[in-house]
Amino acid sequence: MPTIVFASPKGGAGKSTSAVVLASELALRGAEVTLIDADPNRPVSRWAARPGCPSTLTVLADVTESSIIDEIEAAAARVPFVIVDLEGTASMTVAYAISRADLVIVPTQGSQLDAAEAVKAIRLIRQQERAFGRRIPYAVLLTRTSSAIRPRILQHIREELARNEVPVLDSQMHEREAFRAIFSFGGVLQGLGSDQVSGVEGAIKNAQAVTAEVVSLLKGSAEAAKAVA
Ligand SMILES: Nc1ncnc2c1ncn2[C@@H]1O[C@H](COP(=O)(O)OP(=O)(O)OP(=O)(O)O)[C@@H](O)[C@H]1O
Ligand SMILES: [Mg+2]
């Protein structure tokens, strides 16, 4: 079943935040989700240790270079969604996870420097495609963008990525306090009280839009794979 890998060599690009938000949304829709924490800093495991993690979401920690492929394959045989959070560096663990992905999401903040780091992640995906002789779908997810304004630099980055035929998700992970708050309080966006953090409703809508787009991308690539089979 689909494996979604969050990868970017850029530290702080929004991988763990986006992975937890996507995994939680899918789990709240009733799907069994395994979230693999392959970052030695274990941000996802620390989040899951707090209260409020959905019962349909299982977090696997202590996944290393030598175990990641087995862990992904075993989880993919068990549950409908496997999501992998990786450390912000280039490593064998990252390369192995990408080699098993049905979709690689490359979170990228809206600056030229960040876009350059995203290109590194995309190069690695293309190398893995050649090494394993299969297509690995991927898309850039813009993170920490403003929900109110559309800066011209972001438009410029989008156009540049489009010119280089790099797919970019239409929905973005906006800069929202609620996305930070789940790591402090634990649990899901839907469990945050308005006394704890503002703008929860907007964050939930944002998370749902990103999730819907990811699910439709997965469906699209499964159909594309069948069509060329
Ligand atoms: N959409 C968002 N809104 C608000 N804050 C965000 C958002 N995405 C990420 N952050 C914040 O940015 C910081 C980095 O995010 P995160 O840890 O998700 O990045 P990462 O790519 O997983 O980093 P690393 O490479 O270190 O694992 C964190 O403090 C997080 O709370
Ligand atoms: Mg992280």
**Residue 220: what pLDDT?**
81
pLDDT at position 225: 59
Cβ of 100 closer than 6 Å to ligand 1, yes or no, is no
| Ligand 1 close to Cβ of residue 146 (< 6 A) | no
CATH number, domain of 94, equals 3.40.50.300
DSSP 218: H
Q: Which atom of ligand 1 is nearest to the CA of 177?
A: 4
Ion ligand 2: residues, CB < 5 A: 15-16, 43
DSSP conformational letter for 106? E
pLDDT at 1: 79
Pick the ligand that lies closest to the CA of residue 183: 1
Q: Which of 65, 76, 128, 94 is nearest to 6 (CA)?
A: 94
Number of domains within the chain: 1
> Quick one: which atom of ligand 1 is closest to the CA of 85?
22
Q: What is the pLDDT of residue 224?
A: 58
Structural domain containing residue 193: 3-228
Query: What would the DSSP string read from start to end of 156-168?
Result: HHHHHHHHTT--B
Query: What are the residues facing 145 on neighbouring strands?
Result: 174
| pLDDT tens digit at each of 229 positions of the chain | 799 999 999 999 999 999 999 999 999 999 999 999 999 999 999 999 999 999 999 999 989 999 999 999 999 999 999 999 999 998 999 999 999 999 999 999 988 889 999 999 999 999 999 999 999 999 999 999 998 888 889 999 999 899 889 999 999 999 999 999 999 999 999 999 988 899 999 999 999 999 999 999 998 877 655 655 5
Q: Which of 6, 8, 17 to mutate to test the pocket of ligand 1 (most atoms within 8 A of CB)?
A: 17
Q: How far apart are CA 194 and CA 184, in angstroms?
A: 15
How many A from CA of 126 to the centre of ligand 1? 25
**Rounded to whole angstroms, how far apart are CA atoms 228 and 54?**
37
Instruction: Say what the pLDDT of residue 164 is.
Output: 87
CA geometry: angle 56, 59, 63, nearest 5 deg: 150
Tell me the backbone φ, ψ of residue 34, rounded to 5 degrees: -110, 125
How many angstroms separate the first and last alpha carbons of the chain? 17
Looking at residue 29, what is its pLDDT? 94
Answer whether 202 contacts ligand 1 (Cβ < 6 A): no
Helices 177-185 and 200-228: crossing angle in degrees, nearest 10, is 90
Strand order in the sheet with 173-174: 57-60, 33-38, 81-86, 3-6, 103-109, 138-145, 173-174
